[in-house]
């Protein structure tokens, strides 16, 4: 689990890192381009100002009499920028300010110097369509670099902080993400343990009985009794395995139906199941009655719906003592049919009610096993109701009895 969480966190942070590095790189690039453009614009406007102070009338280009580097207006340019006049061959004709490199660059250039880097910009000096020379400005990039450095430091600190937060959030988020997996793993683990436990009892019975049989080979009556025990144990295993495979099939059918639903007449279905159980209730001296109203038609599957009602009646029979009462009802309104199975049996304690639909949960293990219960009856009922978009509810009081209510959506009511 811990490894899984770290793994998810690592992948999450790595993915975020890739996106982040891309974004940070892009923003650094765009920001530095913006700063360069701003610097170039500033240099261009300085060049435009400075070109006003050039004397174009002589043979060679030169600055007007009396102009110097203080002759232009920009407050930034005075201490920083320097200007150079070049002829067409790149020879320096004159300069304003203390320049750093006496070379003409026809395109903007970064001149790396220690400790200062300079940026140049050039203005071709054209009079009446004739190129006379070039005016070049050179300015330290200190201000631009300082802003860029500040931006980079800020963005890197924010990034580091962001990553710490992301790693923390990722680790916590992975806990949430892993929860459903962990829960289903726990359910599976519990389920395997329950199946092993359930099968262990009849297997031990078969083994112990078979061992005893070897000592009783000459006693046919004892052997017959032992064989009956083995038969019952095998029957138990058979019921458990059959119920388990039914549950699996129901689960698969609910998730990905392969069978087309049919139109089921609930009235006939209830009447049939009631008929099947009549004799068994009579044998146990339980008064068994039914009240069936209307003939609702539901969209569903005959065998599972039959099994659902049979399981509820099986439980009513199992957990109601002689002289008790069991009643089945069917009624419906325009949208739903309701089936209730109520008994005056032992009832279910309130704290057990939320768990009775769990696989292998039993309030009284001994009583359930003695009566042949697999502990899967209500889990099967629940799966069948889910398959039919139905709801099941239970109302019970210890010592008084239990009522199960199933509400199924209907297609129509047959007249
Ligand atoms: P089992 O095979 O043990 O009957 P079920 O899944 O059908 O398994 O039922 C789960 C448990 O719910 C039972 O063991 C029993 O304790 C309780 N139970 C179910 N139906 C009734 C009922 N009608 N009256 C009392 N207890 C019931």
pLDDT of residue 173: 80
Residue 132 covered by a domain: yes
Question: Among 280, 352, 361, which Cα is nearest to 317's?
Answer: 280
Residue nearest (by alpha carbon) to ligand 1 atom 19? 315
Would you call 129 helix, strand, or coil by DSSP? coil
Indicate the pairing of strand 54-55 with strand 130-140. unpaired
Q: What is the CATH number of the domain that holds 114?
A: 3.30.450
Assigned token pair, 283: 């044998």
pLDDT of residue 73: 44
Q: How far is the CA of 396 from the centre of ligand 1 (A)?
A: 12
Assigned token pair, 295: 């003939």
pLDDT of residue 76: 45
Q: What are the φ and ψ backbone dihedral angles of 405, each rounded to 5 degrees? A: -125, 125
pLDDT tier at 15 (50, 70, 90 boundaries)?
Answer: confident
Residue 78 covered by a domain: yes
Residue 237 covered by a domain: no
The better pLDDT of the pair 208, 116 is held by 208
Share of the chain above pLDDT 70, in %: 95
Q: How far is the CA of 384 from the centre of ligand 1 (A)?
A: 16
Q: How far is the CA of 282 from the centre of ligand 1 (A)?
A: 21
Residue 405 covered by a domain: yes
Question: Among 105, 110, 139, which Cα is nearest to 122's?
Answer: 105
Residues 268 and 132 in one domain: no
What CA–CA distance (Å, rounded) separates 213 from 108? 105
Sign of CA dihedral 348, 351, 357, 358: negative
Of the three residues 104, 130, 147, the one that is the final residue of a domain is 147
Alpha-carbon 329 to chain mean position: 43
Pocket of ligand 1, beta carbon within 6 A: 315-316, 318-319, 343, 345-348, 356, 361-364, 368, 373-379, 402
Q: Does residue 215 carry a pLDDT above 90?
A: no
pLDDT tier at 66 (50, 70, 90 boundaries)?
Answer: low
| Residue 124 neighbours by CB under 8 Å, 6+ apart | 131, 133, 134
Residue 171 covered by a domain: no
Residues 139 and 270 in one domain: no
Residues 403 and 269 in one domain: yes
What CA–CA distance (Å, rounded) separates 202 from 377? 18
The better pLDDT of the pair 171, 38 is held by 38
What CA–CA distance (Å, rounded) separates 132 from 55? 11
Average pLDDT for 9-17: 81
Assigned token pair, 184: 């289903």
Report the chain's mean pLDDT, rounded to a whole number. Answer: 88
What CA–CA distance (Å, rounded) separates 140 from 121? 12
Q: How far is the CA of 363 from the centre of ligand 1 (A)?
A: 7
Residue nearest (by alpha carbon) to ligand 1 atom 3? 375
Average pLDDT for 123-127: 90
Q: How far is the CA of 192 from the centre of ligand 1 (A)?
A: 21
Average pLDDT for 242-247: 92
Average pLDDT for 181-186: 85
Residue 327 covered by a domain: yes
Q: How far is the CA of 121 from the centre of ligand 1 (A)?
A: 92
Of the three residues 105, 127, 147, the one that is the final residue of a domain is 147
pLDDT tier at 186 (50, 70, 90 boundaries)?
Answer: confident
CB of 386 within 8 A of CB of 396?
Answer: no
Residue nearest (by alpha carbon) to ligand 1 atom 21? 315
CB of 327 within 8 A of CB of 316?
Answer: no
Of the three residues 117, 147, 177, the one that is the final residue of a domain is 147
pLDDT tier at 127 (50, 70, 90 boundaries)?
Answer: confident
Q: Does residue 183 carry a pLDDT above 90?
A: no
pLDDT tier at 263 (50, 70, 90 boundaries)?
Answer: very high
Alpha-carbon 146 to chain mean position: 45
Burial class (CB in 10 A: 0-12, 13-18, 19+), 301: buried
Residue 241 covered by a domain: no
Residues 266 and 410 in one domain: yes
pLDDT tier at 351 (50, 70, 90 boundaries)?
Answer: very high
Alpha-carbon 122 to chain mean position: 59
247, 308, 362, 371: residue to mutate for ligand 1 pocket, most atoms within 8 A of CB? 362
Q: Give me the number of domains the chain comprises.
A: 2
pLDDT of residue 342: 98
CB of 20 within 8 A of CB of 163?
Answer: yes
Alpha-carbon 218 to chain mean position: 66
Residue 118 covered by a domain: yes
Would you call 337 helix, strand, or coil by DSSP? strand
pLDDT of residue 79: 54
Question: Which domain covers residue 67, as residue numbers?
Answer: 2-147
pLDDT of residue 101: 80
Counting from 1 in the atom list of ligand 1, the atom nearest the Cα of 311 is 7
243, 319, 369, 406: residue to mutate for ligand 1 pocket, most atoms within 8 A of CB? 319
CB of 313 within 8 A of CB of 326?
Answer: yes
Q: How many residues does this entry show for the chain?
A: 415
Residues 401 and 274 in one domain: yes
Q: What is the CATH number of the domain that holds 374?
A: 3.30.565.10
Q: Does residue 355 carry a pLDDT above 80?
A: yes
pLDDT of residue 227: 93
Q: For helices 266-283 and 302-318, what crossing angle results, to 10°?
A: 30
């Amino acid at each position: 689990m811990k490894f899984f969480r770290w793994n998810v966190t690592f992948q999450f942070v790595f993915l975020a890192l890739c996106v982040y590095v891309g974004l940070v790189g892009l923003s650094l690039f765009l920001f530095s381009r913006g700063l360069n453009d701003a610097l170039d614009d500033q240099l261009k406007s300085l060049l435009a100002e400075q070109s006003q102070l050039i004397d174009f009338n002589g043979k060679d280009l030169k600055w007007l009499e009396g102009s110097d580097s203080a002759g232009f207006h920009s407050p930034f340019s005075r201490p920083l920028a320097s200007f150079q006049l070049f002829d067409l061959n790149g020879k320096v004709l004159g300069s304003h300010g203390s320049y750093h490199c006496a070379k003409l660059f026809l395109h903007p250039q970064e001149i790396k110097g220690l400790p200062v880097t300079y940026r140049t910009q050039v203005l071709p000096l054209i009079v009446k369509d004739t190129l006379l020379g070039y005016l070049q400005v050179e300015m330290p990039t200190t201000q631009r670099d300082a802003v860029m450095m500040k931006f980079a430091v800020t963005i890197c600190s924010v990034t580091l902080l962001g990553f710490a937060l992301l790693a923390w959030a990722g680790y916590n988020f992975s806990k949430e993400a892993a929860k459903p997996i962990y829960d289903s793993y726990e359910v599976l683990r519990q389920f395997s343990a329950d199946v092993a436990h359930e099968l262990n009892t009849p297997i031990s019975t078969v083994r112990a009985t078979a061992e005893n049989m070897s000592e009783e080979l000459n006693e046919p009556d004892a052997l017959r009794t032992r064989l009956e025990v083995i038969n019952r144990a095998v029957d138990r295993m058979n019921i458990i395995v059959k119920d388990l495979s039914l549950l699996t099939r129901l689960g698969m059918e609910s998730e990905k139906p392969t069978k087309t639903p049919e139109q089921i007449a609930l009235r006939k279905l209830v009447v049939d199941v009631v008929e099947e159980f009549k004799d068994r209730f009579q044998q146990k001296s339980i008064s068994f009655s039914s009240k069936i109203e209307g003939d609702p038609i539901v969209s569903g599957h005959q065998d599972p719906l039959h099994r659902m009602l049979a399981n509820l009646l099986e439980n009513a029979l199992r957990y109601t003592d002689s002289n008790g009462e069991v009643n089945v009802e069917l009624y419906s309104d325009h949208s739903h049919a309701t089936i209730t199975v109520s008994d005056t049996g032992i009832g279910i304690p309130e704290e057990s009610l939320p768990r009775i639909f769990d696989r292998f949960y039993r309030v009284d293990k001994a009583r359930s096993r003695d009566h042949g219960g697999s502990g899967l009856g209500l889990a099967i009922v629940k799966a069948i109701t889910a398959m039919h978009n139905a709801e099941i509810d239970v109302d019970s009081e210890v010592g008084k009895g239990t009522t199960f209510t199933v509400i199924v959506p209907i297609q129509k009511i047959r007249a």
